[in-house]
Structure 1
């Protein structure tokens, strides 16, 4: 394959069964299995032995009728944690995610000009209906890295649109309430552990990590194994390298078959609806 001209990132994702994911031995065994598989597949893997696990809270905003979701829009907040302490600043991401690239790019997630952001158009490659298959969805993102937690959205759609004017194209009344999906008790605790870098070819080196979503410490909901890399003008035409990443992803599903959870994305679990 050749990465589409507008794509800035390719990200491969596999959901992992939650049982035992809060135990270091389980993660170590999974990491060792991936390392062994890379050796068999002749994919160079720079393994990280002493990586630090990051902690953060994850939650989503939507209207009571889930108008954002029905329009393929996701508004996510990530709060970094140091042990029990939550930082005063958080990351806010607005994205339009669709199986149709043109639909994803028609929506403008960029914030107002006075707010700094990172714009990303991701090709997210997910497991297909059968083991060893895959399908793609496209995620058009604006990422705000340092938003004061105390100045987050004030409870109405209008307060969201003040950050993200592109939201005004959605058929939603400005006075419509906006709240955390599932309520404040539906915040997820995420533990994220980098495990290494995969090399698929010249300029195509993917960062690989395991994320665990928990209701609280010791109560895993689901895990996710993901690897991703940037796409730019230098590596966009590296067809063999992109194909090698695709093939690796499909074969990895067969290797990890006993560990894989049925489903598409972690977000879909929060909403209780597939993507």
Structure 2
């Protein structure tokens, strides 16, 4: 916790996200998700963490893919350029979400690039502390993600597939000093696009001002072909709860002990993005 101040979280942090990779086998079956939900609820009761069910929660579907240069200049500079296309059943929406993030193990390094877009699209800026499983079950490590998220971008006009086209949206990328005509492509090719199913399962309460949203995400090559799952919970960090160390530490402890309770469900690895690149993050 070297990045954390004694008085509370770093004042620049806006979100905390806890993520556990799940073995993909059987995650396309509803009964498996119900079983996992039951284990989580049981563990919450044991841990005296209040769990609030979400009534009539629907599974959301979206396409997820990443862009980079042929030489992976983004990855080598700790940058991630991601597009999410929402779906309604078989239909892809006309709008998508575009995210640029600088993600590193050190908070200071994550601030190296300014992801703020130069565009009229509505956008959100987030500086996230992401808590992941470390080397063994019951452990944790942190990475920091400096994000800009653009909403409602016309899907047919995301950007030109060149560095020049992308820097029109994200001008600070000019500091990479790459040629404007350098091509940018979908990482792994168009067949490497992922179908993501996301099911909200409930809210966790670690304190009066720390309420976390919990969901299960499943990445698939196609329906019925899961490649990885993720159990995650996250919450906003505000001036009101930033110094509530008791609640933040309770969320940390819950994360490490939850791994022991669902150890048979866990997959090894770093992040879902690392699977796409085929290189640990």
- Give the TM-score category using the shorter length: over 0.9
1:233 and 2:242 matched? no
Deviates more, 1:128-137 or 1:108-117: 108-117
* Secondary structure at 2:111 match in 1: helix
Instruction: Give, in whole Å, the separation in 1 of the partners of 2:134 and 2:208.
Output: 28
Q: Shift of residue 128 of structure 1?
A: 0.7
For the 8 Å contact 1:35–1:47, the answer to whether it is kept is no
| TM-score, scaled relative to structure 2 | 0.96
Q: How many residues align?
A: 275
- Aligned partner of 2:135 in structure 1 is 129
Deviates more, 1:113-122 or 1:66-75: 113-122
1:211 to 205, 212, 217: 217
Deviates more, 1:42-51 or 1:79-88: 42-51
| TM-score, scaled relative to structure 1 | 0.98
- Aligned partner of 2:255 in structure 1 is 249
- Aligned partner of 2:30 in structure 1 is 24
- Aligned partner of 2:39 in structure 1 is 33
2:158 to 124, 130, 152: 152
Instruction: Give, in whole Å, the separation in 2 of the partners of 1:188 and 1:115.
Output: 25
Instruction: Give, in whole Å, the separation in 2 of the partners of 1:53 and 1:114.
Output: 30
Q: Shift of residue 153 of structure 1?
A: 2.1
1:43 and 2:49 matched? yes
For the 8 Å contact 2:110–2:144, the answer to whether it is kept is yes
Instruction: Give, in whole Å, the separation in 2 of the partners of 1:94 and 1:224.
Output: 21
- Aligned partner of 1:267 in structure 2 is 273
Q: Shift of residue 113 of structure 1?
A: 5.4
1:164 to 161, 170, 176: 170
* Secondary structure at 1:167 match in 2: helix
1:192–1:274 distance in 2 versus 1, CA, 3 Å? same
RMSD: 0.9
Instruction: Give, in whole Å, the separation in 2 of the partners of 1:193 and 1:142.
Output: 24
Gaps in structure 1 of 5+ consecutive residues: none
Per-residue CA deviation, residues 202-261 of structure 1 (Å, 9 max, x unaligned), is 210000000000000000000000000000100000010000000000000111111100
Instruction: Give, in whole Å, the separation in 1 of the partners of 2:211 and 2:270.
Output: 24
Per-residue CA deviation, residues 81-113 of structure 1 (Å, 9 max, x unaligned), is 000000000000000000010010121000015
Q: Shift of residue 49 of structure 1?
A: 4.6
* Secondary structure at 1:106 match in 2: coil
For the 8 Å contact 2:121–2:153, the answer to whether it is kept is no
- Aligned partner of 1:7 in structure 2 is 13
Instruction: Give, in whole Å, the separation in 2 of the partners of 1:229 and 1:3.
Output: 13
